[in-house]
Amino acid sequence: MRMLNITVASGKGGTGKTTVAVNLALAMASKQSVQLLDCDVEEPNDHLFIKPVIERSWKTGIPVPQVDYQKCDFCGRCAEVCAFNALAVLKDYVMLLNELCHGCGSCAYFCPQKAITETERTIGTVESGRAANIEFAHGCLNPGEAMSPPLINEVKKLANRKMFTIFDAPPGTSCPVISALSGSDYCLLITEPTPFGLNDLDLAHQVAKLMEIPAGVVINRSDVGNGRVEQYCREHNIPVLLKIPFDRRLAELYARGEPVVLHSPGWESTFKQLYEQIVAFAEGGVRR
């Protein structure tokens, strides 16, 4: 039967999103099979902590137009229908702006002369493998590429709905986050008790709310800053599922790329309890 899948997200970088995703995966892997899919394709870091054996690697891309100048009459229809302004038709040349092309295919579909076909332009690589009881995959966006959602969607195709799956989302609230969050049963928002953390938590919560995905909060470095984050959660009826205090040992382990659950049975138990809370709050629970 279908298992729960969750997305670990944050409105800004540096809040501890990767730390929570990795430790939650490792804690649950001691009792069941888990998938960890790193969708932060611009800066994938999960592999540094779980150290998977990579078994497959393949290129992925998006379809981009290719013009047959023997058929093209430079009517400009392709540029008119392009919602992203990726095409400009000159007197005797069709200019393609690769960074703006979303690969939607409208130009080829609407070309009166059928002068446009599509060819794939590679934007990144997907790698998959295993680390003990964890199935792992991540995407690596090519340097200089702006179109990460197609690569994120390629990673998400590997999701196995018969396993507990964790999507580690990119930071922020733009299109890449929407792609990672889409279809999730639950959104785990990682924040910190600072004015910056509160501001970006509000933005990230609004995204989850707009997508009608239930959300809970983990407060990292919870014993610094002020109490405004918890006040915000109370006012908006968002459950605070875990508070992680500032701890020098945690920081030292993180700096060495070592997950805390592998060094402390207490923390393993804490992250298992986090999972149970997620299941309790997720709409519909887990269908086994």
In a domain, residue 196? The reply is yes
The pLDDT value recorded for residue 265 is 87
- Shared domain check, 54 and 74: no
- Shared domain check, 231 and 100: no
- Shared domain check, 254 and 148: yes
Residues 165 and 29: their CA atoms lie apart, in Å, by 11
Confidence band for 283, pLDDT divided at 50, 70 and 90: low
In a domain, residue 158? The reply is yes
In a domain, residue 211? The reply is yes
The pLDDT value recorded for residue 53 is 97
- Shared domain check, 267 and 204: yes
- What are the tokens at 14? 């540096």
Residues 163 and 286: their CA atoms lie apart, in Å, by 11
- Shared domain check, 140 and 190: yes
pLDDT tens track for 105-149: 999 999 999 999 999 999 999 999 999 899 999 999 999 888 899
In a domain, residue 287? The reply is no
Domain that holds residue 105: 69-114
Percent of the chain with pLDDT over 70: 97
In a domain, residue 288? The reply is no
End-to-end CA distance of the chain: 5
- Shared domain check, 75 and 36: no
Cβ neighbours for 162, distance < 8 A, ≥ 6 positions apart: 1, 2, 3
- Shared domain check, 260 and 175: yes
- Shared domain check, 173 and 55: yes
Is residue 288 scored above 50 in pLDDT?
no
- Shared domain check, 139 and 106: no
In a domain, residue 133? The reply is yes
Residues 131 and 47: their CA atoms lie apart, in Å, by 9
Confidence band for 60, pLDDT divided at 50, 70 and 90: very high
Cβ neighbours for 141, distance < 8 A, ≥ 6 positions apart: 41, 42, 123, 124, 148, 151
Q: DSSP assignment, residue 11?
A: S
Confidence band for 285, pLDDT divided at 50, 70 and 90: very low
Three-class DSSP labels, 153-205: HHHHCCCCCCCEEEEECCCCCCHHHHHHHCCCCEEEEEECCCHHHHHHHHHHH
Is residue 193 scored above 60 in pLDDT?
yes
pTM of the predicted structure, to 2 decimals: 0.90
- Shared domain check, 170 and 139: yes
Domain CATH for 273 = 3.40.50.300
- Shared domain check, 253 and 146: yes
Domain count, the chain: 2
Q: DSSP assignment, residue 100?
A: T
- Shared domain check, 141 and 105: no
In a domain, residue 90? The reply is yes
Confidence band for 287, pLDDT divided at 50, 70 and 90: very low
pLDDT tens track for 21-56: 999 999 999 889 899 999 999 999 999 999 999 999
In a domain, residue 233? The reply is yes
